[in-house]
Every structure is written in structure tokens, then in C-alpha cells.
Structure 1
Amino acid sequence: MPGLAVLSGWVRVKELSILLVTVAAGIYFSLTTSVGFNSVENYHTIAQYVAPWAIVAAGQVMLLICGEIDLSAGFVFTLSPFLLMVFYNNGAPLFVALLGALVLSAVIGTVNGLIRTVFNVPAFITTLGMAFLLQGLSLVISGGSPVSAPSTGWVVTWFGRGPWTEFVWALLIVAAMQVLLSTTRFGIYTQATGGNPIGAAESGIRTNRIKVINFALSSTLAGFAGILQGTRVGSYDPTNGGFNTMFFAVAAAVIGGTALFGGSGTVVGAFLGALLLGIVYDGFNLTGINASAFPVVLGLAILVAMLLNVYLSVLRSRLGSSRGES
């Protein structure tokens, strides 16, 4: 039936539901705010909320799809700018210092992945312990106080200080990670590792290696996001990031359609989830709603998203069966 085919096509677009909700939220705040929601300045404000959440979420999506999670990503976000400054203050050119910080961020993720796979310690415990370790390192290296970020040069302009650069980086990373997930063998292996780990291993996929690489990717992206945001603001703060950034990223991934139990997800959906959170957060500020209410909305959004994802998964399977019978 043509109608069933059209419905099946729409339902199979995983990002459709979150896209519609995001557009609806934008329209709502456009109509209800007395100040300029639809202004370039306000769009820039929303972009500044969205960019770090989206970049961290891009890495979390890959981990969640293969059945893992990284609670330490928010603290890699915090630590990486101070690692950059250690290299920079010891004579390294700024770009080399940035690369050094990203390499160490990747090493942190690799250590998480090896502890998880070699010693079979649950990712929740492994990355929780790493989170507190990194928090302590950030405080020790920084002395517990913010540090001024470099303020001149092309590296500063391209990696945070230039107008919209943080958001542009978020778009590029989301696009690259979605391509990696959807069109490459590594992406297929990642989905297989989370969806059917035993079957994936029996088919020759080195599932432990896939997990370690995704842990390294998650930490690298979190470290990069921390450098971008700190450079944009002009200082690196040891109290920035942490569990708050990590939970916003995971929330964006879940709201965007990524399954917490592995096997399916979409980086574009996580970006839309981050965009929805940014729009709502900004809209609350503009309409004068108490900021304390935002966690309530966030919690409800996660619960509704989980229920909707379950419903859509059942609907997709039913529509697939119907098409097979016809």
C-alpha cells in the first residue's frame, strides 16, 4: 500500500522525531519571548551552548552504540586545556601544544578502554574512577584557579576565538562522525559490537579493539571541545566541564535516538538533541523562567525520548514485517 510505504519511510528516519520537536521548540520560543530570540546575537548564544555538548556527544554516541559509556569525558574536557598550557609554557609552539593535549586525551581514553576490555571492569566503574582522577589532576595542574588562555595567533582564531568557529567545528565533527558510523566498516563493526557482541566476535570482528578505539575517540573529542570552549571564553577553568558536560552530552545522545543498551544510534540525532537542549535553555533565560526548572525539563525529555525510541523501534519492526508479508 502506498500509504504504508510512505509511513514506513518516515518512521525509518531516526532523526525525524527529534527534528520535529526541535523545530517546534524553536517556533514556540520565537512566539513567546518578548526579547529577540530570532536575532543573530541570540543564535550565536545558542550555538555556544550547543557546540561543546554536540562534540562530546559525538564521541559518546559511538561508545553507547557499542554498549559502553564514558563518565570521564567531562573531566577530559576540563583537563585538556591545562595539558595544552603545560606544553605551551615549556616552549612548544601553540599548535604543537594543542596536538600534544589531544594525544594525551586519546591516551586517557585508550587506558579506559584497555581496563574495560583486558580486565573486564565495567565501563561505569572504570570511567567513574578515571573521572575523579582527572578532576584531581586538573586542580593540581591549575592550582585550583582559572588560567588565561593564549589570545593571539592563527591557532587561537581557528580553534575557538574566531566568530562561530566552535560551532563550525561541531558541525564538521558531527558530519565526519556520522559518515564514519554510517558508511565505513568501522561504523558497521561498532553497531555489530553493541547490537550482537557474541555474534560479532564469532564473525571475526575484534570487538575489544573496536571498544578501545571508541574510548580513545570519545576522550579525544571531549579534550578538543574543552580546548575550543576555553579558548573562546579566554580562560581555562578547572571547575568547567565535569559531570555536568558529560551528562548533557549523554542526554543529547539519548534524546537524539541513541540506545543506552547499544546497537543503534545516530550522531546527527545527538546534534539535534544538543540543539534542542540549547534552544530550551536559551528560551528559559529569555522568558524569565527559573533556571531551576531546566533539569525537570531535561529529565522529562530523556524519559519521553526513551519511551518514544522504544515505540518507534517496535513500529519499525512491525512495518518491516508488514512489507515482508506483502
Structure 2
Amino acid sequence: MRFLLGLTRVKELSILLVTIVVGIYFTATSSAFNSIDNYQTIAQYVAPWAIVAAGEVMLLICGEIDLSAGFVFTLAPFVLMLFYVNGAPMVVAVLGAILVSTLIGTVNGLIRTVLTLPSFITTLGMAFLLQGLVLIISNARPVSVPTGHGILEVFGGARWSEFLWALVIVAIMQTLLSATRFGIYTQAAGGNPVAAAESGIRVNRIKVVNFAITSTLAGLAGILQGTRVDSYDPTNGGFTLMFFAVASAVIGGTALLGGSGTVIGALLGALLLGIVFDGFNLTGVSANAFNVVLGAAILVAMILNVSLIVLRKRLGARGLS
């Protein structure tokens, strides 16, 4: 029974098992699934979702959400181009675009905490504002990625660089969440904000920092993705990207009501979605069915998370913890 309790405490276990089962299923039903090229295709789906989800996990844990992250993802490459065409070196252009992304998140956080507007409304308004800016800056047209810059090989140009960025970011963010004081404060801010504030935790500051982190990661992901496909597209990202990131976080075990979550779980959630999306393409299943699977996965994940919480409490009450 102690072993059972230990398993229930591994938040990523259920999503890991489901991901493995789904991978085995598509391996058996499609001969093209197990190939290096197809693994790269899956990685290309997973990387941007996982990077943005790493930030959304932190926000969801502290009881907030960022609906504008998908449009920061869209905007960042065009900000990069603005710096570049106005004479900035490519390194400065990349760093400048990421800094602008950070500032957008900081503004979101300050509006949320200083003006006490709900994050849903704050970031929804910011999303539409950024969408308009993207269309104005780009003239609603995609632009080609500048060539001859080695720095862009690092930021998405090399074959596996985007996915490697995703793995590194997930590792850093999981460490930040589980092994630092900031991570503990983030969980406290979402689990019981009143008690956290009374214990001396600056809840508002924690939230502002997490908004800034989420936008920073979204901007970085947008640059990586656009550079990989060799085009900065004003229709890329948006609400679709944001919802996939949030879905990855929720499927991976992050509570929508705050207080608990796992960045590794979000990566596994993104991997599961990527495998299903890719598997559907390989087996000829209509892409429309993917939304059915996505919706069902979110519902099952939420039900499973609640069930595991109840099971942990029952086993702990029996003196097994």
C-alpha cells in the first residue's frame, strides 16, 4: 500500500503511461511512425507547445492565466525584424525582441496586480491589441527569415535546435518550480494566497514575475518556430498556440484552480498531443477528429487529477503516508 501511495504522488505517472500506450498504438498501426524524420515532425509539433506551456504552468499554479501568450509568440519575430532592418546586429535584434516580450508580460502582471483586473480579461485585451500590432507591422504578410546569420542557427535554424531549446527550458523551469524558494512561493500564491501573503510572501510580485516569464518564453518560442520554418508569419501562433499550450499543461497535471502543477507533465502533455496529431495524419484519420481527442483528453486529465488527489487523501488518512 505504501508503494501505491508513492505512485499516486508521482504527478507525471498517468500521462507518461498514456503517452507510452498511444505511441505503441501508432507504432503498430503505421509503419512510417518509427523513423527519424517522423520523430522530427513530432518534435516540431511539441517544441513550441512545451515552451509556452512551461510558462503557463507557472501562471496556472499561482492562480492566473495568460491568453495573450500566443500573440506574443506571433509578434516577437516581427519585432526582431524591426530591430534588424533598422540597423541592429542580429544578436541585438534577437535579444531586443525577447526583451519586448518580457515587457509585455510585465505589463500584464502589473495591470493584474495593481489594478486588480482578472488575468482572463487583462490578457484577453492584450491578445487583441497584440494581434492588431502584428497586422500593422507586417502589413498582414509573412516575411522571409534573414540569411547568413549563425545566431539564427542556434535560434531555430538547426535541425533539432527548437526541440533542444524546449528540453532545456523544461528542465530549467521544473527545477525553478520544485527546487527553489521562488517555486515554493509560486505554489503557495496559488494554493492559499491569503495565507501566503500573511506569511510574508509578496504574492503580487510572484505573479508579475511569472507573467514576465510566460511572455518571455512565448516570444522565444515564436522566434524559434519562425526561424525553423524560414518564415515569420502573422497568422502563426495566436489563440490556437495558446490553447494547445494550456491544454498541454492541464493534461500534464497542472490544476486550473492553482496550487499544483508540473512542467515535466506539461512536456508529456505536449508530447501526447503531438503523437496523436502526427498519428492521425499518418493513419489518414480526419484532422477534425483531433479536436474530439483533445477535448476528451482535457476532461479525462482533469477527472484523473481530481481522483488522484482524493486517493492520496484517503491513503494518507489511513496512516500510509
Q: Same fold (TM over 0.5)?
A: yes
Matched residue, 1:17:
14
Rounded to whole Å, the distance in 1 between the matches of 2:244 and 2:75 is 18
Q: In 1, Cα distance between the equivalents of 2:160 and 2:319?
A: 45
2:143 is the alignment partner of 1:147: yes
Query: Mapping of 1:252-291 within 5 angstroms?
Result: 252-291=248-287
Q: For residue 292 of structure 1, what is the aligned residue in structure 2? A: 288
Residues matched between the structures, number: 321
Matched, 1:31 2:28: yes
2:258 maps to a residue whose letter is G
Deviations 1:18-66 (A, max 9, x none): 0000000000000011x41000000000000000000000000000000
Structure 1 unaligned blocks of 5 or more: none
Inter-partner Cα distance in structure 1 for 2:247 and 2:241? 10
**C-alpha separation between the residues in 1 aligned to 2:112 and 2:56?**
16
Q: Is the 8 A contact 1:149 1:234 kept in 2?
A: yes
- Identical columns (%): 73
Amino acid at match of 1:154: G
Residue 55 of structure 2 is aligned to residue 67 of structure 1: no
Instruction: Please give the residue correspondences for 1:129-148 in structure 2 after superposition, counting only pairs within 5 Å.
Output: 129-148=125-144
Report the alpha carbon displacement of residue 145 of structure 1 after superposing the two structures with TM.
Answer: 0.2
**Contact (CA 8 Å) 1:84, 1:97: kept in 2 or not?**
yes
Does the 8 Å contact 1:151/1:234 carry over to 2? no
Q: Distance in 1 between matches of 2:160 and 2:317?
A: 46
For residues 288 and 229 of structure 2, the distance between their equivalents in structure 1, rounded to whole angstroms, comes to 24
Is 1:48 equivalent to 2:32 in the alignment? Answer: no
Match of 1:303 in 2: 299
- In 1, Cα distance between the equivalents of 2:80 and 2:314? 51
Which residue of the partner structure matches residue 172 of structure 1?
168
Where 1:192 maps in the other structure, the secondary structure is helix
**Equivalent-residue separation in structure 1 for 2:275 and 2:38 (angstroms):** 10
Please give the TM-score of this superposition, normalised by the length of structure 2.
0.99
Deviations 1:236-256 (A, max 9, x none): 000000000000000000000
- Partner-residue secondary structure (3-state), 2:207: helix
Once the two structures are superposed, residues 130-189 of structure 1 have per-residue CA deviations (whole angstroms, 9 ceiling, x without a partner) of 000000000000010001112222211111010100000000000000000000000000
Give 1:117's aligned residue.
113
Amino acid at match of 1:17: S
In 2, the alpha carbon distance for the partners of 1:19 and 1:254 equals: 14
> Structure 2 CA distance, aligned partners of 1:88 and 1:208?
35
SS of equivalent to 1:323: coil
Query: Which residue of 221, 224, 233 maps to 1:228?
Result: 224
TM-score for the superposition, normalised by structure 1: 0.97
Aligned counterpart, 1:319: 315
Distance in 2 between residues matched to 1:55 and 1:72, nearest whole Å: 15
The answer to which of 193-202 and 315-324 deviates more is 315-324
Task: Please report the RMSD computed on the Cα atoms of aligned residues, expressed in angstroms.
Answer: 0.8
Work out the CA distance in 1 between the residues paired with 2:222 and 2:229.
11
1:202-226 deviations in Å (ceiling 9; x for gaps): 0000000000000000000000000
